[in-house]
Amino acid sequence: MPLEMSLDCDTMKKADIAILFDRLSDVLPEPRSELEYVNPYTLLVAVVLSAQATDVGVNKATRELFKIVDTPEKMLALGEGELKQHIKTIGLFNTKAKNVIALSRRLINDFGSAVPEDRDALQSLPGVGRKTANVVMNVAFGHPTIAVDTHIFRVGNRTGLAPGKTPDAVESKLEKAVPPGRKLHAHHWLILHGRYTCKARKPECPNCCIRDICGYKAKTTFEAPLAGGTKARVKKKLGDKPRPKRRAGL
Ligand code: SF4
């Protein structure tokens, strides 16, 4: 997480924040997590594994794992050694395997094998911090939480939507700034915008759907912008992929 981020931007006005979410909503009306999962338990495991790793890398490792393990009991039966074999391509896999086994045991012993919906209970699980709890609460249970990852931290600062020096500061500003009707999907809209358009090294400002309201003072220019703009490119990136598996009702 880049804790140092240029704050050389104009703070976004309330009217422009509404426009920003209107436009991101036009691009993707129903944004979804790019992590693959089949139920709240596998979502929790996937999010724990995704710390400092890409969703693509986690999905590669969990695709086979979740075919045989979709409950805490099955995870304990698999065991830490076998789990490591499945996730050894993911960074920090030794620590993550220990945490997944420990959190599975806690779920069985203290939560009737179910993933808790409550923030404090989630954060009491091994390997689960505020960001992971926010993702699980949002994706599995539909709470309007915003987990500030590296993409949201960057977009919040560059655009002037929610400037802050720490992820917690950005999260706090987003909680106040995001219009109530946009809070449920704000997390994924901002992540996907950061992942595919407002990229870390070279943001694609000429193709950006919020360029005119973005407060970033160092917008990039391309000699030959990609045809089709943000909507076409994000849809191209996401549209050909199978949607993450999810349980009915999620
Ligand atoms: S205009 Fe550039 S800096 Fe601003 S949100 Fe778009 S890509 Fe990011």
For the stretch 175-187, what's the b/e string if a residue is b when 16 or more beta carbons lie within 10 angstroms of its beta carbon? eebbeeebbbbbb
d(CA 136, CA 107): 15
pLDDT at 2 over 70: no
Fold classification of 40-141 (topology level) = Endonuclease III; domain 1 (1.10.340)
d(CA 100, CA 98): 6
Residue 217 catalytic? no
Residue 131 catalytic? yes
pLDDT band at 235 (very low <50, low <70, confident <90, very high): low
Mean pLDDT of 184-197: 96
61's CB contacts (< 8 A; 6+ apart) are 49, 86, 87, 88, 89, 90
| CATH 1.10.340.30 residue ranges for the chain | 40-141
| CATH 1.10.1670.10 residue ranges for the chain | 14-32+151-239
Task: Return the amino acid letter for 203.
Answer: P
pLDDT at 32 over 60: yes
pLDDT tens sequence across 52-86:
999 999 999 999 999 999 999 999 999 999 999 99
Q: Which of 16, 96, 149, 173 is catalytic?
A: 149
Mean pLDDT of 95-99: 98
Question: Which atom of ligand 1 lies nearest, measured to the CA of 158?
Answer: 3
Give yes or no for residue 197 CB within 6 A of ligand 1: yes
Give yes or no for residue 132 CB within 6 A of ligand 1: no
Residue of 12, 23, 197, 230 to mutate, ligand 1, most atoms within 8 A of C-beta:
197
pLDDT tens sequence across 123-164:
999 999 999 999 999 999 999 999 999 999 999 999 999 999
* CATH class in words for 14-32+151-239: mainly alpha
pLDDT at 225 over 60: no
